[in-house]
Chains A and B, each alone.
Chain A
Amino acid sequence: MPNEFPMKDPKDVWQNQPTEAFKMSADQLRRKVKQRQSKTRFEALYSIVIGLTLGILFAWTLATAHELVLRLGFGILSLWCLYFAYQAYRRIRTSRLAPDATLSTTLESYRSELEKQRDFARHVWRRTGLPFCFLGLALVIVPELIKALGAPRLALNILPVGVLLAIWFAIFIPQRKRRQQKLRQEIDELCAFESETH
């Protein structure tokens, strides 16, 4: 087999690779921008509809429930659905690449992308309103659990939900910690680079 590579410059290898000619016409570009705006609108609408539907469903259950604790639980869940829909809508609106992001240096752009992710991870409980979701769920489930103490069959019905919730917590919390650590490390490395540069 001929050993021709040692005679080649990696630059030549890179620059002479086969490429596809790609260019978009002004019409295509404008159409693409419009398609994207429509898609963003649709996604926003979709999350609002889901949030509203669930919110109304929980509100309906609230209206038909008789116990105060249950009503409180469904009320909180109903409000959480509305809040979650609003947050999802906000996130969709801001997740697109900002026009300014294309004008900064890579160092700035890369750091700001990582910081965005770090901030989201740091405030995930507040942004998703999950404590309210868990509070609502607890208010709905705990009375049933108390009742179940006298009826083991009911406890068996609730057990799968409890197990799933415990598994979710066991996976979510360590994973979140690892991710945050990794992000912090990456941001620190970039900041060190920036301070060396300026």
Chain B
Amino acid sequence: MQDVRRLEPIPAGNLNQDSLYEQAADSYSAALDRLARAYESDPEARRDLLQEIHLQLWRSFAQFDCRCSLRTWVYRVAHNVATGHTVRQRRIREKLVSIESIESIPGGDQGELAASQAEALHRLSLLIQGLQPLDRQIIISYLEGMDAASTSEITGLSPANVAMKVHRIKHVLRRWFHEGGPHAK
């Protein structure tokens, strides 16, 4: 078998790279898969995107300096790779909208209730995939259960900005999935 270490030698200071990646992949594999689904609807392109995220994540660990948590680092790298992927798809990017414009559409709610988990997920994915990258990132962070401070650390937006966006996201989600859901209280 070929000695793959000869392909790209790791500098002495970066011996941790493999173990950090291993740890990140074990802990966040499912979250990264969900993130890739939020950025790419085509299954084949999504697989490529996911592979690219893992590759860039591994590369980034050569510079991991423990100044932020592993989770923040993983999400930051993953979102940046996925955002780059969206930005390069010009025809798709030009059709993306902000959460504010969805919120301002009168009667933009879906009317009928989503009858099953699959339908609800489909509807949620449609909403997310139509959003501009920054808004998409905030909604994903919200759905993944992150607080405003963590989301702010990843996006570079202020916590107040993130909180305002999350407020709008909640409003849109309520309308998108019909008034009366758990967030309507």
Q: Is the CB of A107 within 8 A of B157?
A: yes
Task: Give Cα distance in the complex from A81 to B79, angstroms.
Answer: 38
| Residue of chain B at shortest CB distance from A108 | B156
Rounded to whole Å, the gap between the CB of B38 and the closest CB of chain A is: 9
Q: Which of B36-52 contact A (CB under 8 A)?
A: 37, 50-51
Q: In the complex, A21 Cα to B80 Cα: how many Å?
A: 21
On chain A, the residues within 8 Å of B153 by CB distance are 105
| A22 proximal to B (CB < 8 A) | yes
For B181, the chain A residues whose CB sits under 8 A away are 5-10
With A30-B8, A31-B4, A102-B59 as given contacts, are A7 and B143 in contact (CB-CB < 8 Å)? no
Contacts of B58 in A (CB 8 A): 24, 29
Do A9 and B183 have beta carbons less than 8 Å apart? Answer: yes
Q: Could you tell me if B60 and A5 are in contact, using CB atoms closer than 8 angstroms? A: no
Interface residues on B, range: 35 or more
CB within 8 Å of B: which of A97-117? 97, 99, 101-110, 113-114, 117
Known A-B contacts A10-B177, A22-B32, A30-B7; A113 and B55 likewise in contact (beta carbons under 8 Å): no
Question: Which residues of the other chain, B, contact A117 by a CB distance below 8 angstroms?
Answer: 87, 90
Q: How far is the CA of A26 from the CA of B8 in the complex (A)?
A: 11
**Could you give 24 example pairs across A and B, Cβ below 8 Å?**
A2-B115, A3-B115, A5-B115, A5-B178, A8-B182, A9-B181, A11-B142, A14-B34, A22-B29, A33-B55, A97-B81, A99-B63, A102-B59, A102-B60, A103-B60, A103-B77, A105-B155, A106-B137, A109-B84, A110-B83, A110-B133, A117-B90, A196-B158, A196-B161
